């Protein structure tokens, strides 16, 4: 008997009726002869409500206590979904993350999974139960409750699928699959029948919110077959796997975009071999992620360094660097906010030169100024003004003919 892991997000469990509907979807898999493990998020806006409660108590809550608080949201979901399954004749057992054996590193609010002990889960599966597991949470080796950060339930589901050697991990959400771009903003967006791990990882890192990058990385490392599909509609989703055929011979298979980008520039950095490492070590020590990096030489044996960060990290980045100004050795810092990043992704870029040139020409033809550029083998990213973000995504989607992707509907 094969095992299926199914994950439901908070919007799919926001009301008792939706929980009952999710139970029916799970029961279908069980009736097909599968062992079933369900991973769930907190209902609807529960996490936001808990954050709001904490905010009424203190502006700087301890991360340990926030984990203790936020972990309660998923406990409501697992108990209610287990009740709904039992009500329709499907024996179910609910597990918190720690009961399910999700062991994490000793980091609060954004922990990584380091091990999954499935002994208890497997024992209950062998007894014929459906397992309903809380996503987003785990426990350290010394018993501290932790949470996994944004998208943590996706990661929980993939980790359990890997540990249980499941046939497939279904990520059920409020969209019907992975699209060539966000259909809420770009006309002509199409659902992909399949996409490679590498392409999905790039899209997830570049702003596509349908899957969290950690979940995709986990799936790739352990060769877990993922499928993103609707939690309500009965139609085929998008399969994420190692190798896929290129649909319609399209070199570019997706356009991703994200706003709230800041370009921060450090002027007059000493041109020393340790200059770059000192800046980025300080930022890393303060959990500030840096993306696109551009270095330029100036007169007088000095260097200017520009890099992009999330807007929410801007004040912290400036404060941290200024506090280390003397040891790092630079003259001043300037920043430009109100920016966005638009990216094209496709494994076909490896063997097709000229894709970046076409992207830059398309944006130039629309008078969209490019502020920064970053590339890899399968993606090209450009930082543009935030007000031009949607327009840039649309013209790139059109220029690379992504409307030609054929949607498969069951």
Give the Cβ contact number of residue 352 at 10 Å: 11
pLDDT for residue 143 is more than 70: yes
pLDDT in tens, 282-331: 999 988 999 999 988 776 678 899 999 999 999 999 999 999 998 888 99
Phi, psi (deg, nearest 5) at residue 111: -75, 155
CA distance 247 to 127: 43
In which band, very low, low, confident or very high, does the pLDDT at 246 lie, cut at 50, 70 and 90? low
CA 8 to chain centre: 15
Question: For the chain, what are the domain ranges?
Answer: 3-174, 255-404
Residue 247 scores a pLDDT above 60: no
- Give the chain's mean pLDDT: 92
Q: Tell me the pLDDT band of 407, cut-offs 50, 70 and 90.
A: low
User: Measured between alpha carbons, how far is 218 from 58 in angstroms, rounded to an integer?
Assistant: 35
Give the mean model confidence (pLDDT) for residues 166-171. Answer: 95
Average pLDDT for 90-118: 96
Mean pLDDT of 238-243: 87
Q: Say how many C-beta atoms besides its own lie within 10 A of residue 64's C-beta.
A: 13
Q: Check: CB of residue 40 under 8 Å from CB of residue 78.
A: yes
Residue 381 Ramachandran class (φ > 0 left, ψ -120 to 50 alpha, else beta): beta
Third-level CATH fold of 255-404: VC0802-like (3.30.2130)
Q: CA 81, CA 79: separation in Å to the nearest integer?
A: 6
* Neighbour count for residue 296 (Cβ, 10 Å): 10
What integer pLDDT is reported at residue 309 of this predicted model?
A: 95
CATH number of the structural domain 3-174: 3.40.1160.10
In whole angstroms, give the CA distance from residue 334 to residue 331.
10
CA atoms within 13 A on the CB side of 292: 28
In the numeric block, which tokens belong to residue 11? 């919007």
Please say whether the beta carbons of 22 and 231 come within 8 A. Answer: yes
Q: What's the residue count for the chain? A: 410
């Amino acid at each position: 008997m094969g095992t299926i892991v199914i994950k439901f997000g908070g919007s799919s469990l926001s009301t008792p009726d939706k929980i009952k509907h999710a139970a029916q979807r799970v029961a279908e898999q069980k009736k097909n002869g599968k062992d079933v493990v369900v991973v769930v998020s907190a209902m609807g806006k529960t996490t936001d409500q808990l954050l709001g409660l904490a905010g009424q108590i203190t502006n700087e809550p301890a991360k340990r206590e926030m984990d203790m608080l936020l972990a309660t949201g998923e406990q409501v979901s697992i108990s209610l979904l287990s009740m709904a399954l039992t009500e329709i004749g499907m024996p179910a057992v609910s597990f918190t993350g720690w009961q399910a054996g999700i062991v994490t590193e000793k980091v609060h609010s954004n922990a990584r999974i380091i091990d999954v002990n499935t002994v208890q889960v497997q024992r209950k599966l062998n007894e014929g139960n459906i397992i309903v597991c809380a996503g987003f949470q785990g426990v350290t080796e010394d018993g501290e409750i932790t949470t996994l950060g944004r998208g943590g339930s996706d990661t929980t589901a993939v980790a359990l699928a890997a540990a249980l050697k499941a046939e497939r991990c279904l990520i059920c959400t409020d969209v019907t699959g992975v699209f060539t771009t966000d259909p809420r903003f770009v006309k002509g967006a199409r659902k992909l029948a399949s996409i490679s791990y590498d392409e999905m990882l790039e899209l997830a890192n570049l702003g596509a919110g349908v899957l969290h990058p950690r979940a995709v990385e986990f799936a790739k490392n352990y060769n877990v077959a993922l499928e993103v599909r609707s939690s309500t509609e009965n139609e085929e989703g998008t399969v994420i796997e190692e190798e896929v055929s290129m649909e319609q011979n399209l070199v570019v298979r997706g356009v991703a975009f994200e706003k709230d980008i800041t370009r921060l520039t450090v002027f007059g950095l000493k041109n020393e071999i340790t200059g770059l490492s000192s800046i980025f070590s300080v930022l890393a020590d303060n959990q500030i992620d840096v993306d696109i990096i551009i270095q330029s030489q100036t007169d007088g044996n000095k260097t200017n360094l520009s890099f992009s960060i999330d807007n929410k990290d801007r004040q912290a980045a400036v404060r941290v660097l200024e506090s280390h100004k003397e040891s790092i050795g630079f003259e001043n810092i300037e920043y430009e906010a109100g920016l966005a990043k638009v990216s094209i992704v496709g494994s076909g870029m490896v063997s097709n030169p000229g894709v970046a040139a076409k992207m830059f020409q398309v944006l130039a033809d629309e008078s969209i100024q490019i502020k920064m550029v970053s590339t890899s083998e399968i993606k090209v990213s450009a930082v543009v003004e935030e007000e031009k973000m949607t327009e840039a995504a649309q013209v790139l989607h059109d220029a690379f003919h992504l409307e030609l992707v054929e949607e498969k509907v069951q």
